[in-house]
């Protein structure tokens, strides 16, 4: 894929002629990208306001551009950059990095502006000869979903450092190109914890949790010590897989490696234990924390709620407000989940008094509660809101159909199925999993792909027989609605 041509004008805004390379500040090849331009110029701006010394005009303009970029106001940043050029002030490499970083962090604001800045830097050969600028361009294209352009820039860089490699690997992972990410990773002369975390975190974000854990095992075998970001990623993988055994191992690992006072890791452990059904362990982690954040409170409240401890969830909901924390959408979701046991009116009151509009998670939690209470009227009202928020979520339609079926309203269930078909919405097959010796075994309805399928079904038949002998009668009212639930 070709790079932007060397044009005289920018795509988004008309740029003046670029300065001569000799006038730029610090264009030497650099081996490490250690300066965060936004933070650097924020500090410079504060010091300049209290200084009587003459102000470097490039620093002053770049500080103003960074102020806009930091807030995602790229149109204002672009206009400020144009005013800077019209004023005859020459940008330096930090100016370009600041603009490129803004484009990377807010890729939807001005789609073509980043390419314009890239074209500008090409005229000065900064994308090739300055490792910080080149890496910033790679990051910008990758975060805008143009990973092919990112790789083209990466390949043409005259000097690359570990930051350049890590940025390109992260770009591949965030765009789902795992194969090329691993190939580039294998080509690295030295692999740091950040390099490994780029792979592990990328797998977790794309829901390839088993691959993330396997990658962590290889990291350990290589002798590279993980940092706290790595630990958070692998704990998240354990939480999503429900691997309680591995979660316990990582908890001991955290204590051993002296991460015990890291708030973010503690929050991750609370979430992991809660999702594995071990709410007592989650509570122990929470109570041992010397300092807590809103995320800490949200994690324990949601943990109590999803594990059926409604009273504890509401108790902690009250305690967090006494401690001075203001509930957010996640907090209210936890509180609403706690209201499932026949307290739908209380839940509706919470929704009406929320300071923010309820999202699909909040409304979906209440819709799930309607099934246990067979409240068709409320379910229909909630479904109208959910369809407005996201009409393509199959689980909401399935849930509504099951609510109709539970009360014998087969016409309603059939209507939901017809609506799904008309909108091209297909039900995602449900799955279940079980952990044995820290290994996850996943199954879907009617699944016979497991190596031990025959003995598994023999045990299931035996369990079914014993249940029937004990008087168990399976529920059949929802079978007509969704047979593969």
What is the pLDDT, as a whole number, of residue 229?
Answer: 94
Same-domain pairing of 462 and 478: yes
Give the end-to-end CA distance of the chain in Å, rounded to a whole number.
46
What's the number of domains the chain is made of?
A: 4
Please answer whether residues 117 and 100 qualify as being in contact, where contact means their C-beta atoms are separated by less than 8 angstroms. yes
Q: Tell me the pLDDT band of 437, cut-offs 50, 70 and 90.
A: low
Please answer whether residues 246 and 274 qualify as being in contact, where contact means their C-beta atoms are separated by less than 8 angstroms. no
How many CA atoms lie less than 13 Å away from 270 in the CB half-sphere?
Answer: 27
Same-domain pairing of 258 and 307: no
Residue 434, classed as helix, strand or coil, is strand
What is the pLDDT, as a whole number, of residue 231?
Answer: 94
Domain boundary among 273, 303, 338: 338
Cα–Cα distances in angstroms (integers) from residue 451 to residues 208, 444, 454, in the given order: 22, 14, 8
Token readout for 228 is: 């706290």
Summarised one tens digit per residue, pLDDT across range 15-65 is 333 333 333 333 333 333 334 544 544 444 444 444 455 568 899 999 999
Same-domain pairing of 219 and 145: no
Give me the mean pLDDT over the 274-280 stretch. Answer: 93
- Please give the Cα distance from 93 to 177 (Å, whole number): 30
Q: Considering the domain boundaries, does residue 169 fall inside one?
A: no
Same-domain pairing of 328 and 356: no
Same-domain pairing of 58 and 146: yes
Summarised one tens digit per residue, pLDDT across range 380-427 is 888 887 888 778 888 888 889 989 988 888 988 999 999 888 888 888
Please answer whether residues 240 and 207 qualify as being in contact, where contact means their C-beta atoms are separated by less than 8 angstroms. yes
Q: Considering the domain boundaries, does residue 165 fall inside one?
A: no
What is the pLDDT, as a whole number, of residue 22?
Answer: 31
Same-domain pairing of 149 and 104: yes
Q: Considering the domain boundaries, does residue 185 fall inside one?
A: no
Cα–Cα distances in angstroms (integers) from residue 313 to residues 306, 327, 365, 379, in the given order: 9, 13, 15, 24
What is the pLDDT, as a whole number, of residue 86?
Answer: 93
Indicate the pTM of the whole model. 0.70
Q: Which residues lie below 8 Å from residue 446, measured CB to CB, with a gap of 6+?
A: 484
DSSP state of 439: E
Q: Which residues lie below 8 Å from residue 257, measured CB to CB, with a gap of 6+?
A: 225, 226, 231
What is the pLDDT, as a whole number, of residue 110?
Answer: 64
Same-domain pairing of 150 and 3: yes
Q: Considering the domain boundaries, does residue 250 fall inside one?
A: yes
Summarised one tens digit per residue, pLDDT across range 129-175 is 999 999 999 999 999 999 999 999 999 999 999 999 999 999 999 99
Domain boundary among 304, 338, 372: 338
DSSP state of 17: P
Q: Which residues lie below 8 Å from residue 275, measured CB to CB, with a gap of 6+?
A: 239, 240, 242, 303, 306
The total of other beta-carbon atoms located within 10 Å of residue 213's CB is 22
- Please give the Cα distance from 363 to 390 (Å, whole number): 11
Q: Which residues lie below 8 Å from residue 451, measured CB to CB, with a gap of 6+?
A: none
DSSP state of 430: P
Range scoring the smallest mean pLDDT among 163-177, 189-203, 351-365: 351-365
Percent of the chain whose predicted confidence (pLDDT) is above 90: 45
Token readout for 195 is: 């390099």
Token readout for 357 is: 């509009």
- Please give the Cα distance from 51 to 207 (Å, whole number): 51
Domain boundary among 104, 137, 159: 159
Token readout for 397 is: 């339609």
Residue 391, classed as helix, strand or coil, is coil
Q: Considering the domain boundaries, does residue 182 fall inside one?
A: no
Longest alpha-carbon distance in the chain: 91
What is the pLDDT, as a whole number, of residue 388?
Answer: 81
Same-domain pairing of 374 and 443: yes
Q: Which domain holds residue 463?
A: 351-485
Residue 309, classed as helix, strand or coil, is coil
- Please give the Cα distance from 386 to 391 (Å, whole number): 7
- Please give the Cα distance from 114 to 142 (Å, whole number): 12
Same-domain pairing of 410 and 318: no
Q: Which residues lie below 8 Å from residue 240, measured CB to CB, with a gap of 6+?
A: 204, 207, 209, 275
DSSP state of 327: P
Same-domain pairing of 5 and 153: yes
For 458, the enclosing helix (H) or strand (E) is helix 453-469
Say yes or no to pLDDT of 183 above 90: yes
Same-domain pairing of 19 and 123: yes
Q: Considering the domain boundaries, does residue 343 fall inside one?
A: no
Q: Considering the domain boundaries, does residue 176 fall inside one?
A: no
Same-domain pairing of 320 and 413: no
Please answer whether residues 437 and 452 qualify as being in contact, where contact means their C-beta atoms are separated by less than 8 angstroms. no
- Please give the Cα distance from 481 to 404 (Å, whole number): 9
- Please give the Cα distance from 383 to 351 (Å, whole number): 15
Which CATH number is 153's domain given? 1.25.40
Summarised one tens digit per residue, pLDDT across range 285-307 is 999 999 999 999 999 999 998 89
Say yes or no to pLDDT of 334 above 50: yes
Q: Considering the domain boundaries, does residue 178 fall inside one?
A: no
What is the pLDDT, as a whole number, of residue 342?
Answer: 61
What's the chain's average pLDDT?
Answer: 82
Characterise 417 by phi-psi region: left (phi > 0), alpha (psi -120 to 50), beta (else). alpha
- Please give the Cα distance from 127 to 115 (Å, whole number): 12
Residue 224, classed as helix, strand or coil, is coil
């Amino acid at each position: 894929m070709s790079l932007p041509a060397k044009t005289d004008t920018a795509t988004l805004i008309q740029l003046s002629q670029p300065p001569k390379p000799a006038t730029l500040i610090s264009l030497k090849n650099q081996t490490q990208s250690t300066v965060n331009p936004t933070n650097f110029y924020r500090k410079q701006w504060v010091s300049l306001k209290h200084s009587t010394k003459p102000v470097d005009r490039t620093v002053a303009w770049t500080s103003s551009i960074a102020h806009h970029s930091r807030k995602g106001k790229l149109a204002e940043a672009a206009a400020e950059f144009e005013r800077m050029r019209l004023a005859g002030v020459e940008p330096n490499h930090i100016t370009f990095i600041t603009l490129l970083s803004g484009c990377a962090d807010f890729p939807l604001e001005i789609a073509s502006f980043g390419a314009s800045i890239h074209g500008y830097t090409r005229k000065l050969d900064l994308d090739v000869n300055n490792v910080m600028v080149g890496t910033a361009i790679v990051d910008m294209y990758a975060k805008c979903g143009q990973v092919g352009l990112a790789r083209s820039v990466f390949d043409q860089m005259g000097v690359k450092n570990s930051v350049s490699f890590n940025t390109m690997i992260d770009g591949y992972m965030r765009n789902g190109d795992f194969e090329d990410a691993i190939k580039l990773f294998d080509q690295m002369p030295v692999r740091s914890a950040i390099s490994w975390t780029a792979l592990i975190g990328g797998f977790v974000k794309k829901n390839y949790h088993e691959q993330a854990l396997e990658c962590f095992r290889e990291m350990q075998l290589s002798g590279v010590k993980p940092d706290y970001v790595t630990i958070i990623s692998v704990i998240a993988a354990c939480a999503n897989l429900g691997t309680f055994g591995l979660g316990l191992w990582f908890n001991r690992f955290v204590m051993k490696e002296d991460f015990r006072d890291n708030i973010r890791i503690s929050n991750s452990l609370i979430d992991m234990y809660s999702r594995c059904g071990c709410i007592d362990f989650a509570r122990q982690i929470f109570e041992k924390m010397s300092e807590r954040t809103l995320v800490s409170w949200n994690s324990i409240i949601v943990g109590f709620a999803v594990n059926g401890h409604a009273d504890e969830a509401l108790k902690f909901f009250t305690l967090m407000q006494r401690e001075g924390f203001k509930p957010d959408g996640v907090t209210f979701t936890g509180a609403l989940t706690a209201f499932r046991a026949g307290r739908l009116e209380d839940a509706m009151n919470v929704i009406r008094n929320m300071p923010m509009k309820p999202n699909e998670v909040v409304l979906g939690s209440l819709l799930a509660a309607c099934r246990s209470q067979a409240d068709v009227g409320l379910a229909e009202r909630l479904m109208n809101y959910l369809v407005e928020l996201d009409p393509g979520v199959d689980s909401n339609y399935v849930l509504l159909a099951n609510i109709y079926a539970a009360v014998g309203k087969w016409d309603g269930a059939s209507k939901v199925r017809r609506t799904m078909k008309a909108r091209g919405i297909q039900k995602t097959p449900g799955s279940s999993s079980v952990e044995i010796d820290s290994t996850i075994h996943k199954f879907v309805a009617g699944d016979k792909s497991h190596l031990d399928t025959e003995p598994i079904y023999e045990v299931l038949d035996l369990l079914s027989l014993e249940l029937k002998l004990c008087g168990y009668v399976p529920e059949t009212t929802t079978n007509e609605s969704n047979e593969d639930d």
